[in-house]
C-alpha cells in the first residue's frame, strides 16, 4: 500500500474547513501541515481498509466501495493541493516545505478537477484491478479454468515447450480486455497531472526523486549502463544452455530468447530454470524448494522464518494483529489478488501482508522481501504522517532484498534448509549463478516497464502501437521475444500486475541497485572480512542498529542525505553489484568465449 497515496485522503477534512470566517487569522503553513498530519490517519485507514478488503474479497460490492473510497481521496487530494498553493512563494521551515512538496506528489494518478471525470477515474482504476485479480484462462469452458497462480506454477516447473507456450499465451490473453480501460485511464490521469502543473503523469512520477525529471531520466540510464555488460554476459550463457534443452531452431544464436522459456510468466527473473543452467551439477545443494516441502513448511512457518531474521537484527516481533489480519494463502471460496504486497493500514502498528504463499524458494524470498516493507513501516511510524514513506520508493523495495542477499548458503544451512556447505570455486559459481538469475536478470525488466509508460503518458506511444512498442523495448533491454505472433489486439503490458494497478515500477530497478549498496555498507558495519557475496548480517546487532536508524528517518529528508548516513555516499551506484558478482563475471567470460552473444 503506497503510504503517500493514502495520506492524500486526509485532506477531505481540510475541505470542510473552507468556510473559515474571514475574521479569523489565515492559517500558517506550519499549522496547515500539522493539521494535515493530525487529521489524515482516520481517512488513510479508510482507504487502506477499502483497498485491502477489495484485494482479498473481490466482488462487485467491494469493487464499488473501493471505487468510492478512491474517489473521495482523489477529491480530497485535489482540494488539499489547491489549498497548499496559498503558501507558494513564502519562506517556510524546511520540514514544512518538504511536506508541501510531498503532498503535491502524493498520488500515483491525480484526478481531474471535474467531479464526473474524477469519479470515472476512480471507477476505471478499481475495474482494472478487479479484472486483473479475477482473471482466469479457460481454454475449453469453465471446468478448464486456470488461475494466474496455477499458470505461473506451470511456467516454473514445466520443461515442455508446448505446455509452456499454452500457459504463457493463456495468461497474456486475459489482458486483452484491459486495453480499452487503460486508454481511458491514461487520458484521465494525464489530465489530472497537467492540472497540477506537470507535463504528464510520467513527468510527475519522475519528480519524486529530489531532482528534476530530466535529470532523473539520465540517472536511470547511467545506472543501467553500469550493469548492462553483466546482464549481456548472463543472457549469452543462459541462451546457450537453453539451446541444449529446446534446440537451436527454437533458441538460435544471436537472437532474443523466447519469453516463455525462462521459468517466469514475465521473463523477469530466471531462478526457476537454474537446474537447466547450473554451472557445476551437484557442487552445491541448493534445493530450497525441496527442503521446504520435505520439512512441511506452510505459509505461516515461512513467514515466521522471515520474522526471525529481522528479530536477529534487533527489530521487534510483529504485532499479533499482523498474524490475525494478513492473507497468507489463496482461499478456495473466492477470487483474491495473489500478487504479494505489504500494507500499512493506520500509520501505526496495524501492518499486514497479502500473498498466496506456496512452499517454494521464490515465495520464501518474497516473504522476506515483504517483511522488509513491514519493518520499514514500523520503523518510521513515529514520523509525521506525511513523512511515513521510504526515502524514495526504491528504498522501500530495497530493504527486504538487502536481507535476501544475506540468505547465503551458510545462512540456509544454519536454519536447516540446505545440507553441509562445501566451500570452493565450483560451489561459489553455482551460488552466484542462482543469485544472478534473480537479481541481474531482473534489471532490464525493472527499467523498461516505466520507460514504456513514460512514452505512453507523454504521447510518444499511442494506443495504435502499445503492444509493438512494448515488445520493441523488451527486445532492446531484455533480449527476449514473444513466443507467438502479437498484434494490437493484444495488450501484453496489462498481463503484468503493476500496469493495471498503476504502480510505478522504476522503484524496483532502483532497489536492485541500492540493495547491493546497502548490503556492502551493512557488511562493513558488521565487520565482515571476506568476499561480499559470502556476507550475511544475520544476528549482527551493529548492522541491525545502522539499518534501523536509516529506516526510522522515513521520507523526512532528501534521499541523498539518508543514503549518505548508511553508505557514506550521496549517489546511487552499481559498483557493489560488480564487486559482488566478480567471480561469476570472470567465469561467464570464459564460458562465452567464441559464442555469438547479443541479439
Active-site annotation, residues: 339-340, 369-370, 373, 397, 498, 508
Question: Could you tell me which residues are beta bridge partners of residue 258?
Answer: 481
Question: Could you tell me which residues are beta bridge partners of residue 351?
Answer: 344
Rg, C-alpha atoms of the chain: 24
Place of cell 507523454: 458
Residue 476: CB atoms within 10 A of its CB come to: 13
Sign of CA dihedral 108, 113, 118, 119: positive
* 319 burial level (CB within 10 Å; 0-12, 13-18, 19+): middle
- DSSP annotation of 593 reads T
How far apart are alpha carbons 197 and 216 in whole angstroms? 18
Residue 253: CB atoms within 10 A of its CB come to: 14
Q: Which helix (H) or strand (E) holds 472?
A: helix 466-473
- The Cα-based distances of 217 to 211, 222, 316, 555 in angstroms read 10, 9, 38, 21
Whole-angstrom distance between the N-terminal and C-terminal Cα of the chain? Answer: 38
Total residues found in the chain within this entry: 599
Question: Could you tell me which residues are beta bridge partners of residue 141?
Answer: 139
* 414 burial level (CB within 10 Å; 0-12, 13-18, 19+): middle
Cα 110 to its chain centre, rounded Å, is 21
How far apart are alpha carbons 302 and 462 in whole angstroms? 44
Strands 257-258 and 146-147 turn out to be unpaired
Task: Please report the DSSP string for 272-314 in residue order.
Answer: GGHHHH-SSTTSS---HHHHHHHTT--HHHHHHHHHHHHHHTT
Amino acid at each position: 500500500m503506497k503510504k503517500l497515496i493514502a495520506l492524500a485522503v486526509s485532506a477531505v477534512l481540510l475541505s470542510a474547513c473552507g468556510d473559515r470566517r474571514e475574521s479569523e487569522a489565515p492559517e500558517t503553513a506550519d499549522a496547515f501541515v500539522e493539521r494535515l498530519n493530525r487529521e489524515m490517519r482516520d481517512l488513510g485507514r479508510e482507504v487502506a481498509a477499502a483497498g485491502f478488503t477489495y484485494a482479498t474479497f473481490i466482488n462487485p460490492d467491494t469493487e464499488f466501495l473501493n471505487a468510492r473510497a478512491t474517489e473521495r481521496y482523489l477529491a480530497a487530494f485535489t482540494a488539499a493541493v489547491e489549498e497548499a498553493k496559498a503558501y507558494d512563494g513564502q519562506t517556510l521551515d524546511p520540514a514544512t516545505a518538504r511536506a508541501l512538496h510531498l503532498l503535491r506528489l502524493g498520488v500515483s494518478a491525480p484526478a481531474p478537477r471535474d467531479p464526473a471525470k474524477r469519479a470515472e477515474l476512480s471507477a476505471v482504476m478499481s475495474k482494472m484491478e478487479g479484472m486483473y485479480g479475477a482473471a482466469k484462462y479457460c481454454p475449453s469452458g469453465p471446468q478448464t479454468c486456470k488461475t494466474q497462480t496455477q499458470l505461473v506454477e506451470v511456467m516454473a516447473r514445466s520443461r515442455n515447450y508446448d505446455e509452456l507456450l499454452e500457459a504463457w499465451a493463456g495468461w497474456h490473453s486475459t489482458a486483452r480486455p484491459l486495453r480499452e480501460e487503460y486508454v481511458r485511464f491514461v487520458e484521465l490521469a494525464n489530465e489530472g497531472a497537467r492540472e497540477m502543473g506537470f507535463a504528464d503523469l510520467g513527468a510527475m512520477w519522475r519528480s519524486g526523486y529530489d531532482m528534476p525529471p530530466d535529470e532523473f531520466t539520465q540517472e536511470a540510464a547511467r545506472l543501467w549502463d553500469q550493469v548492462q555488460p553483466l546482464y549481456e554476459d548472463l543472457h549469452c550463457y543462459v541462451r546457450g544452455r537453453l539451446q541444449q534443452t529446446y534446440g537451436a531452431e527454437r533458441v538460435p544464436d544471436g537472437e532474443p530468447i523466447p519469453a516463455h522459456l525462462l521459468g517466469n510468466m514475465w521473463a523477469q527473473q530466471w531462478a526457476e530454470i537454474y537446474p537447466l543452467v547450473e554451472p557445476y551439477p551437484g557442487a552445491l545443494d541448493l534445493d530450497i524448494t525441496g527442503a521446504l516441502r520435505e520439512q512441511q513448511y506452510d505459509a505461516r512457518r515461512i513467514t515466521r522464518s522471515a520474522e526471525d531474521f529481522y528479530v536477529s537484527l534487533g527489530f521487534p516481533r510483529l504485532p499479533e494483529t499482523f498474524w490475525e489480519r494478513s492473507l497468507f494463502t489463496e482461499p478456495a471460496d473466492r477470487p483474491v489478488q495473489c500478487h504479494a504486497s505489504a500494507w500499512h493500514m493506520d500509520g501505526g502498528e496495524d501492518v499486514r501482508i497479502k500473498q498466496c504463499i506456496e512452499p517454494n524458494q521464490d515465495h520464501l524470498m518474497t516473504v522476506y522481501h515483504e517483511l522488509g516493507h513491514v519493518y520499514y513501516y514500523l520503523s518510521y511510524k513515529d514520523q509525521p504522517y506525511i513523512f511515513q514513506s521510504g526515502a524514495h520508493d526504491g528504498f522501500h523495495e530495497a530493504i527486504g532484498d538487502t536481507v535476501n542477499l544475506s540468505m547465503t548458503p551458510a545462512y540456509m544451512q544454519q536454519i536447516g534448509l540446505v545440507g553441509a556447505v562445501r566451500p570452493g570455486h565450483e560451489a561459489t559459481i553455482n551460488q552466484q549463478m542462482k543469485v544472478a538469475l534473480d537479481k541481474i536478470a531482473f534489471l532490464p525488466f525493472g527499467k523498461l516497464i516505466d520507460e514504456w509508460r513514460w512514452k505512453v503518458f507523454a504521447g510518444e506511444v499511442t494506443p495504435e502501437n502499445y503492444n509493438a512498442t512494448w515488445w520493441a523495448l523488451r527486445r532492446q533491454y531484455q533480449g527476449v521475444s514473444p513466443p507467438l505472433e502479437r498484434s494490437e489486439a493484444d495488450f501484453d503490458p496489462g498481463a503484468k500486475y503493476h500496469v493495471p494497478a498503476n504502480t510505478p515500477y522504476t522503484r524496483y530497478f532502483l532497489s536492485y541497485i541500492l540493495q547491493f549498496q546497502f548490503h556492502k555498507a551493512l557488511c562493513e558495519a558488521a565487520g565482515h572480512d571476506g568476499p561480499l557475496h559470502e556476507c550475511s548480517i544475520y544476528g549482527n546487532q551493529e548492522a541491525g542498529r545502522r539499518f534501523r536508524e536509516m529506516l526510522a528517518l522515513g521520507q523526512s529528508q532528501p534521499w541523498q542525505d539518508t543514503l549518505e548516513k548508511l553508505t557514506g555516499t550521496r549517489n546511487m551506484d552499481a559498483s557493489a553489484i560488480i564487486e559482488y558478482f566478480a567471480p561469476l563475471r570472470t567465469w561467464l567470460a570464459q564460458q562465452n568465449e567464441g559464442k555469438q552473444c547479443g541479439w
